Amino acid sequence: MVSRFRTFATAGALVVACASVLAGQGWIEPIHPLPTGRVEKIRSAVQVTVTGRVARVTVEEWFRNRGPIMDEGSYLYPLPGEAVFSDFSLWQGDRELKGEMMDATQARSVYESIVRRKRDPALIELAGHGLLRARVFPINPGETRKITLRYTQVLDHVGDAWRFRFASGPGAAPRSFHMTVDSADRVSSPYSPTHHVTTSRQGDRLDVTLADSSWSGDLELLLPLTRRLVGVSLLAHQPAGEADGYFMALLAPGQATDASRVRRDLVAVLDISGSMSGEKMEQARAALLQLLHTLHAGDRFRLVAFSSAVRREAPDWSDATPESLHRAEDWVRSLSAEGGTNIAGALSEAFAARPAEGALGVVVFLTDGLPTVGDTDPERIADEAERQRGPFRVFSFGIGYDVNTYLLDRLTERARGTSEYIQPGADIERAVGSLAAKIASPVMTDLALSGDGAELYDLQPASLPDLFSGDEIVLFGRYRGSARGGWSITLTGRRNGHEERFTASAPTGETNFANAYVRQLWAARKAGALARDIRLHGQTPELMAALKDLALRYGILTDYTAYLVQEPNQVVVRQFERSPLPPAPQEQFGAPSVARARREAMSASASVAADAARLDAAARTSMAAPTERAGDRLFVWRDSTWTDLRHTNSLRVVTVEPFSDAYFELLRALPELARPAALQPAVLVAGRRVSIKIGAGGRSAWGEGELEAVIREFRS
């Protein structure tokens, strides 16, 4: 049955044939080669709630089967930017059916088993980077089915506004749009460059709707800020009964005019090997000239070009004076492409002269090929570059498909920079120009975050990048040990050699359920970091298990997980076999490697790399369906017990008799066990140093100090 479904790598590649319909935010994908059935979208409703810089989106859509036979709707839905899937509902009249996250292979098997019995399932999977596929069955002739999709996204920051995007697509089906903005005093009049909007204010609430109910095309909505944040803002969430919480911090330094700009020491390194000849060389020269034009008085620069040999424009740093810049421009225009590719030698020269005290050292590295001269081993080159790098930030550009993505990503991984991959025929000058504009006005460097009244851990991203003029960083993390009197975070950084500090406190009441989306946004960032670790450092059982456990626990869609909706009491059991761990990937260059690296760099909440799908067998366990979710925990049915996926054999197990005195005392002391305790006939819940089983044959009373000891081991 799976062979009947087509896979699309990106939303832009979608082609709809025959009588199938393109409509609304999602697109109906053709199931049959001939139009024997016709499932069409007939109505859409979009509800958006904006809190701070986070938008929570609910999309309701109605589909009708206008064909003569029972059919299946396969529905493609592109998610914007840093967005995280929350849940999906399938409606039977007024009855809402929700699902759960599970192993992807298991979910597909269950779905197809239910379809064969013509029941009502729905399956949500990744169909490419940022693209969801929902398969809904059955839709009878003349029948209308409703679905509800929910997701959370971090709004883009553009100039002095936050931007909301909605990929509406074509289609004439009626649709409605309504956005509610909390704390509306921070937002002036919203406007859309794509549609006509109407707004109204009621106290601290702003409502935005579209004037035309038959709107079509992609929607872009800008929320101008009445005042720019300078410093740090903090949003926290602590699940009920749990000792540890989650936080989201927005870090912004203000404009360059708000403080003295940081001086820059810029090193531009250009590959001029023979493969760069022609248009690539012309664009690369223009890109270097752009970089030079961003330099200000007080900045310094060095220019390095390499092929088989390494050349430098001057023996040492040059001050950014009109005379030295004119000389450098003439040198850039004289460069021509020839010879091999000596990457190791070029990096050694780039790091040879250290930046001045208090200056921001930046290396911009452009190459289109694999190392062919000097040391050609990527691992040794990366290790030596890391040893030599010192305080430099490294930004790398890989041009074309013959670049070693592993090497370039290793260069930038710990260097507070980024890697960008430019496909053949793309505009090199534009890509480098975008970076040049960003790094033209560094404001604060060497950022560090600390907690007062709470311990911060598992920050995403783990290493804070530098802050540039008008820039903002959205940071997620975990905290533990928060004091009753509240807690705060402090951001420290340096401006021209002087330390600055910004502090933000967790507002009272900000740890309630309303901010629960913070934990899933953190988990999405964490999943992207684990996927990157797997690609750069190879697959290990620990990394693979951590990624899959994270995805299942927090409901994150990856290539290893899928979201299945099924009718209550429809349980299909399938047993998996263990498979050996595959070897680490060897594809470090070529079109697939570049595509994989570009996908991972495109989104902060990056999905698991598509090529890692073949490693699904390594992440499978011998667990069997069904599974149950209780709060943040996922339980699997093992040995007649609902077993927490986080439980390991190394944890001591304390068993408690259900509904005994010991049971009720335990739930009063650990209220987070209330929801798992409802799982029957027995449940095993994992703690930090002990697991608690609620089942027949357990203790019915606690001895002196026993309950207190169990609580300490469970939580700490």
Among 489, 510, 531, give the residue marking a domain's end: 510
Q: Give the pLDDT mean for 459-468.
A: 82
Instruction: Tell me whether residue 53 is in a domain.
Output: yes
60 or 231: whose pLDDT is higher? 60
Q: How far apart are CA 557 and CA 45, in angstroms?
A: 24
User: Which pLDDT band, with edges at 50, 70 and 90, does 626 fall under?
Assistant: low
Q: How far apart are CA 382 and CA 411, in angstroms?
A: 6
Residue 334's pLDDT is 92
DSSP assignments along 121-148, one per residue: -EEEEEEETTEEEEEEEEE-TT-EEEEE
The yes-or-no verdict on residue 368 having pLDDT over 50 is: yes
Which of 296-300, 611-615, 691-695 is least confident? 611-615
The yes-or-no verdict on residue 11 having pLDDT over 80 is: no
Instruction: Tell me whether residue 348 is in a domain.
Output: yes
Q: Give the pLDDT mean for 283-310.
A: 90
Q: How far apart are CA 443 and CA 469, in angstroms?
A: 6
Q: For a pLDDT cut of 70, what percent of the chain falls above it?
A: 78
Q: Give the pLDDT mean for 449-469.
A: 84
Does residue 392 sit in the same domain as residue 476?
Answer: no
Strand order from edge to edge, sheet including 488-495: 467-468, 442-452, 488-495, 498-505
Split into its structural domains, the chain has a count of 4
Does residue 427 sit in the same domain as residue 486?
Answer: no
Residue 513's pLDDT is 56
Does residue 207 sit in the same domain as residue 291?
Answer: no
Instruction: Tell me whether residue 146 is in a domain.
Output: yes
Q: How far apart are CA 112 and CA 133, in angstroms?
A: 15
Q: How far apart are CA 253 and CA 465, in angstroms?
A: 12
pLDDT tens figures, 17-45: 222 333 334 544 444 333 445 777 888 88
47 or 619: whose pLDDT is higher? 47
Query: Hey, which of 219-233, 277-291, 325-339 has the most confident mean pLDDT?
Result: 325-339
The yes-or-no verdict on residue 317 having pLDDT over 90 is: yes
User: Which pLDDT band, with edges at 50, 70 and 90, does 470 fall under?
Assistant: low
Q: Give the pLDDT mean for 90-96.
A: 83
**Are the C-beta atoms of 1 and 120 separated by less than 8 Å?**
no
Does residue 245 sit in the same domain as residue 356?
Answer: no
Does residue 106 sit in the same domain as residue 180?
Answer: yes
407 or 711: whose pLDDT is higher? 711
According to DSSP H, which parts of 208-320 are helical? 279-293
Does residue 342 sit in the same domain as residue 380?
Answer: yes
Q: How far apart are CA 156 and CA 82, in angstroms?
A: 8
- The bridge status of strand 131-139 relative to strand 627-630 is unpaired
192 or 330: whose pLDDT is higher? 330
Instruction: Tell me whether residue 690 is in a domain.
Output: yes
DSSP assignments along 456-470, one per residue: EEEEESSSPPPEETT
574 or 201: whose pLDDT is higher? 201
Integer angstrom CA distances of residue 67 from 24, 41, 71, 121, 140: 20, 13, 8, 20, 9
Q: Give the pLDDT mean for 240-245.
A: 77
Q: What angle in degrees, to the nearest 10, is found between the helix axes of 706-715 and 661-669?
A: 40
Query: Hey, which of 116-125, 199-208, 233-242, 435-444 has the most confident mean pLDDT?
Result: 199-208
**Are the C-beta atoms of 143 and 69 separated by less than 8 Å?**
no
Residue 302's pLDDT is 95
Residue 94's pLDDT is 82
Does residue 190 sit in the same domain as residue 270?
Answer: no
Among 412, 440, 468, give the residue marking a domain's end: 440
**Are the C-beta atoms of 571 and 626 separated by less than 8 Å?**
yes
Q: How far apart are CA 369 and CA 190, in angstroms?
A: 46
- Give the E-state strand segments of 182-292 in sequence order: 197-202, 205-210, 219-224, 231-237, 244-252, 264-271
Q: How far apart are CA 571 and CA 117, in angstroms?
A: 12
**Are the C-beta atoms of 310 and 349 separated by less than 8 Å?**
yes
Residue 590's pLDDT is 54
Residue 326's pLDDT is 95
Q: Give the pLDDT mean for 515-521.
A: 84
The yes-or-no verdict on residue 591 having pLDDT over 60 is: no
Q: Tell me how long the chain is.
A: 716
Domain that holds residue 37: 2-224
Q: How far apart are CA 312 and CA 227, in angstroms?
A: 46
Residue 6's pLDDT is 25
Q: Give the pLDDT mean for 619-637.
A: 60
Residue 40's pLDDT is 79
Instruction: Tell me whether residue 350 is in a domain.
Output: yes
Residue 617's pLDDT is 31
The yes-or-no verdict on residue 710 having pLDDT over 90 is: yes
User: Which pLDDT band, with edges at 50, 70 and 90, does 615 fall under?
Assistant: very low
Cis geometry, peptide bond prior to residue 676 (ω within 30 degrees of 0): no
Instruction: Tell me whether residue 322 is in a domain.
Output: yes
Which of 363-372, 563-572, 705-714 is least confident? 563-572
Instruction: Tell me whether residue 315 is in a domain.
Output: yes
647 or 300: whose pLDDT is higher? 300
Does residue 268 sit in the same domain as residue 408?
Answer: yes
Does residue 163 sit in the same domain as residue 244?
Answer: no
Does residue 281 sit in the same domain as residue 395?
Answer: yes
174 or 351: whose pLDDT is higher? 351
CATH code, domain with 278: 3.40.50.410
Instruction: Tell me whether residue 540 is in a domain.
Output: no
**Are the C-beta atoms of 503 and 509 separated by less than 8 Å?**
no
Backbone angles phi, psi at 390, to 5 degrees: 65, -135
CATH code, domain with 8: 2.60.40
Does residue 73 sit in the same domain as residue 220?
Answer: yes
Residue 53's pLDDT is 85
The yes-or-no verdict on residue 451 having pLDDT over 50 is: yes
pLDDT tens figures, 547-577: 888 888 888 887 777 777 776 544 433 333 3
DSSP-derived 3-state class of residue 310: strand
The yes-or-no verdict on residue 153 having pLDDT over 50 is: yes
Residue 88's pLDDT is 84
Does residue 301 sit in the same domain as residue 276?
Answer: yes
Integer angstrom CA distances of residue 692 from 514, 679, 710: 29, 13, 9
Which of 119-123, 128-132, 578-582 is least confident? 578-582
Q: For a pLDDT cut of 90, what percent of the chain falls above it?
A: 17
* Mean pLDDT over each residue of the chain, to the nearest integer: 76
How many degrees, rounded to 5, is the angle at CA 276 between CA 275 and CA 281? 160
Among 173, 198, 224, give the residue marking a domain's end: 224
